[in-house]
């Protein structure tokens, strides 16, 4: 039987291992791809002008640094993540840019935050990986001041995001051991069920929960597409130990599957997400 502790250990191993290093290597690609989501969250932050912001699942720090740049110098912006390689990159970026932001390596589900210390909690695709999401949001609620706001973006279902699973479908005949997507485990689509997300937040102590569909037009170059599917996600993971011939066969099949998305050297798709809001 898999326990939440087992799941948490697996997540920590992945994000401190090959997955974390892959995200660092492809940092610039991902920053460009997910910039529209960062701008949406930054708009909410600037409208509220909080004095203390917590960025959950901050990764390599693009969002955290954007929030710190946008707010007054007196505001405190903290990014939290479990990935040491990603936070190392985030700290280096902050130092190079001269941006004042704090980064904490910890699991937001269990970290001992200072109680009632945060005015706003934000997350761009960082809340779907908790081993026990109810416990995680209860812990974040304890960190939030009265009336603090939560703003998060998470993916909707695989069926609504065919681009995100296209590589797996194309590679499946060549990679029969690809792990199946499981909605009951942490992962990209763990928050696909709107009712489940509502229950998680409500049980975790949040009020005025508002979950709205968000469809965002995304684009990347064809070269970025090949790097994206070849390094990240289930196919990228499966190809890490593949020989050159196997990798070529898989990538040829995968690239052909994305023909409907590519025109004039640019790949375009719609990201189907939830825009999640709540109040402490």
pLDDT over 90 at 119, yes or no = yes
- Residue 262's pLDDT is 95
Q: Which pLDDT score, from 0 to 100, does residue 62 have?
A: 97
Quick one: pLDDT at residue 241? 84
151: buried, middle or exposed (CB in 10 Å: 19+, 13-18, 0-12)? Answer: buried
pLDDT of res. 54: 98
Q: Residue 193: pLDDT band by 50, 70, 90 thresholds?
A: very high
What gap in Å lies between CA 116 and CA 42, rounded to an integer? Answer: 22
- Single out the residue of 156, 152, 82, 146 nearest to residue 115, CA to CA: 146
Phi and psi, residue 154, nearest 5°: -135, 160
Please state, in angstroms and rounded to a whole number, the distance separating the CA atoms of residues 44 and 220.
Answer: 25
- What percent of the chain has pLDDT above 70? 99
Residue 126 has pLDDT above 70, yes or no: yes
Q: To the nearest whole number, what is the mean pLDDT of the chain?
A: 94
pLDDT at position 2 is 61
Residue 1 predicted with pLDDT over 60: no
Q: What is the pLDDT of residue 24?
A: 93
> What is the residue-wise DSSP string for 1-61?
---HHHHHHHHHHHHTTHHHHHHHHTHHHHHHHTHHHHHHHHHHHHHH--SEEEEET-TTS
The yes-or-no verdict on residue 9 having pLDDT over 80 is yes
Where in the chain are the domains? 4-158+181-219+270-279
pLDDT tens string 27-81: 999 999 999 999 999 999 999 999 999 999 999 999 999 999 999 778 999 999 9
CA pair distance 239, 246, nearest whole angstrom? 8
Q: How confident is the model at residue 242 (pLDDT cuts 50, 70, 90)?
A: confident
Exposure class string for 241-280: b at 16+ Cβ within 10 A, else e: eeeeeeeeebbebbbeebeebbeeeebebebbbbbbbbeb
Mean pLDDT of 208-224: 96
CA 132, distance to chain mean position in Å, is: 17
The mean per-residue pLDDT over the stretch 9-38 comes to: 90
Look at residue 204 and tell me whether its pLDDT is greater than 90: yes
CATH code of 4-158+181-219+270-279, in short, is 3.40.50.150
Q: How far is the C-alpha of 164 from the C-alpha of 233, rounded, in Å?
A: 9
Q: In 82-239, which ranges are E strands?
A: 102-105, 118-124, 144-155, 207-221
* Span 88-116, average pLDDT: 96
- Residue 14 pLDDT class (50, 70, 90 cuts): confident
């Amino acid at each position: 039987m898999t326990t939440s502790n087992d799941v948490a250990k697996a997540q920590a191993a992945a994000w401190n291992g090959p997955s974390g290093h892959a995200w660092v290597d492809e940092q610039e690609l991902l920053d460009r791809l997910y910039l529209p989501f960062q701008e949406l969250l930054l708009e909410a932050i600037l409208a509220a002008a909080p004095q203390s912001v917590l960025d959950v699942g901050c990764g390599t720090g693009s969002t955290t640094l954007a929030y710190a740049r946008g707010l007054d110098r007196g505001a405190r912006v903290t990014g939290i993540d479990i990935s040491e390689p990603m936070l190392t990159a985030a700290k280096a970026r902050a130092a190079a840019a001269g941006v004042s932001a704090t980064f904490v390596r910890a699991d937001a589900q269990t970290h001992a935050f200072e109680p009632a210390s945060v005015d706003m909690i934000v997350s761009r695709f960082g809340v779907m990986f908790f081993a026990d999401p109810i416990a995680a949001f209860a812990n974040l609620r304890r960190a939030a001041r009265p009336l603090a706001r939560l703003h998060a973006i998470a993916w909707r279902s695989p069926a609504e995001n065919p681009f995100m699973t296209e590589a797996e479908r194309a590679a499946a005949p060549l990679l029969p051991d690809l792990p199946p997507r499981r909605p009951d485990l942490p992962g990209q689509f763990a928050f696909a069920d709107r009712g489940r997300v509502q229950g998680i937040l409500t049980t975790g102590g949040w009020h005025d929960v508002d979950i709205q569909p968000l469809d965002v037009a995304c684009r990347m170059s064809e070269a970025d597409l090949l790097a994206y599917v070849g390094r990240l996600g289930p196919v990228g993971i499966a190809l890490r130990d593949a020989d050159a011939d196997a990798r070529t066969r898989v990538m040829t099949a995968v690239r052909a599957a994305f023909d409907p998305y590519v025109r004039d050297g640019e790949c375009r798709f719609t990201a189907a997400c939830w825009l999640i809001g709540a109040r402490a």
